[in-house]
Structure 1
Amino acid sequence: MVKSVQFRALRALIVACGVAWFGPGAPVTAGTLLSPGPATLIRKSAEPFGLSAASLTYGGLYDKWQGVQRRLEDELVQLALCEGDPDRCASPAALKFLAIVDAARLREGRARIGEVNRAINLAIRPVSDFTQYGQIDVWSSPLATLARGGGDCEDYAIAKYVALRLAGIAPDDLRIVVMHDTIHAEDHAVAAARLDGRWLTLDNNRMMMVEDTNIKNYRPTFVIDQQQVMRYADTPLLANATGPVPAVPLAVSSLVRPGQIVSAGEVPAQAD
């Protein structure tokens, strides 16, 4: 009985922290990525790519991020319990995620961000949502992704975002960015971390972290922070899509293929 009371108290504390971390939720309504919902509160800010952004109040992408937040509340409880008593932890995924966070905490600056990028890239194998779930564009929370061992681009980005936050990176310096790949005609998600005033992108396609100003052949479309989903008000092409794909500075490795973010009714290509 005492343990049950203690668990409920601990869960309430962590859920409260989760609400403070992500900000208050809002009603979830139907939508798709192609009809993301109305955009309000256009503002200039220091977002990745230096573009202004407009906050979305509902829509497909908004719904997905709200769903991740709700699932993460329970995962934060599980992570806290496993961190407090690793020997009694019933979740191998939680122990694996905590090991990644602990390794990152031992480093500083760029090395901390790079540790998370490398570790998450190696911990998850690339697999499409359609192959894994039989559904289109499923956004998974970190422990669910690690438990399955596979995911696509947004699953990598979410896991990196949460790991970096737990490793001590300030929420104002973390984002998830959705971009349109103009070469492969796909949408792609990456995590982004700001260091010394510059945004580094953490991509599941490479171990190298690339600064946003050096990204080529992508059009940034949406950006997500701890409180909201925003649509970029200006979405210029970052490089000529008809030109060759540069080997530098992208240095795209053959580690994985990008995942696909699609709307209902579209069938994604299989992940390599």
Structure 2
Amino acid sequence: METAARSRAWRAILFVCGLILLGSAAELRAGTLLSPGAGVLVRKSAEPFGVFAFAISSGSLQQKWFALKDRLDDDMVQLALCDGDRDHCASPAALRLLAIVDQARARDGRARLGETNRAINLAIRASNDGTEDVWSSPLATFQRGAGDCEDYAIAKLAALRLAGVAAEDLRIVVVRDTRAGEAHAIAAARLDGHWLMLDNRRMAMVEDDDARGYQPLFVLYQSAVMKYVDEPVRLSGLGSQRLSLVAANAR
């Protein structure tokens, strides 16, 4: 009995040490553990582009996103009220956005995402903020009828939430367009375990793996701003048996 208890204790200690090396249990649950070869562990993130991202607590992007969140929350309340009583809705911008939401609700799965991407791409005229780089709320964008890449992405996020897509399946991803040599923002939606890119530069959606020429920089998720690492974490000296043990205990 004592020997079995000691064995369990040592297994627990080894497991905790493994978590210290590999990351928290939450991180492990969020990612996919792959074993491409003996003694090598590659973690593939559950975030778009399969690259791990870590929360940041400062910086201009974090400030922009948190400032926008208050306005976005206010817009979602107004949109919900207008959605429940269209006849008394005092916001033409809200009614225009809700018309797109209605079209999306009539579809399922990929068709719902594609309809939202197409309709918002057509509803907003591309316009550059210049050096100010203002992040507008969905109603402000629809009232103006114009916006730049992040305004498209924010509006798509709001429309998809109203259409019934879960918040945990939606992101805004800031990338570097390596062909154009500039930053760009796109909405991302997870469907059946795959991330689809809803880009204002194209009507057709593509999966993150097929989004050529985009280097992921940041991912925005509800109340978090996360910065992508340059490449998946690799740790040597961990065999397939250890990999299976850690993966099983992290479930």
Q: With structure 2 as the length reference, what TM-score do the two structures score?
A: 0.73
Q: Which amino acid aligns with 1:123?
A: A
Q: CA deviation at 1:101?
A: 1.1
Tell me the CA shift for residue 235 of structure 1. Answer: 5.5
Find the partner of 2:144 among 148, 167, 181. Answer: 148
Shift of 1:81: 2.4
Contact 2:76 2:158 in 1 (8 A): no
Contact 1:82 1:88 in 2 (8 A): yes
- Partners of 1:76 and 1:218 in 2: CA distance: 30
Mapped contact 1:221–1:235 kept (Cα < 8 A): no
The corresponding residue for 2:242 is: none
2:87 corresponds in structure 1 to 87
Q: Select the structure with the greater relative contact order (CA < 8 A; seq sep ≥ 6).
A: 2
- Counterpart for residue 171 of structure 2: 175
Equivalent positions of 1:71-150 (< 5 A) are 71-130=71-130, 135-150=131-146
1:57 aligns with 2:67: no
Deviation (angstroms), 1:105: 1.0
Aligned AA for 2:177?
D
- Is the Cα–Cα contact under 8 Å of residues 177 and 223 in structure 1 kept in the other structure? yes
TM-score, scaled to structure 1: 0.67
Superposition RMSD in Å: 1.7
For structure 1, which runs of at least 5 residues remain unmatched after alignment? 1-40, 237-272
* Partner in structure 2 of residue 188 of structure 1: 184
Instruction: Give the drift of 1:73.
Output: 2.4
Distance 1:92 1:138 in 2: 22
Q: Any unmatched runs of 5+ in structure 2?
A: 1-23, 32-44, 233-251
Take 1:231 and 1:224, find their aligned partners in 2: how far apart are those partners? 9
| Distance in 1 (alpha carbons) for counterparts of 2:216 and 2:78 | 34
Q: Structure 1 residue runs of 4+, over 4 Å off?
A: 41-44
SS state at 1:129 partner? coil
Greater share of residues in helix: 2
Contact 1:157–1:191 (CA<8 Å) still a contact in 2? Answer: yes
Question: Contact 2:66/2:223 (CA < 8 Å) preserved in 1?
Answer: no
- In structure 1, the partner of 2:156 is 160
Counterpart secondary structure, 1:90: coil
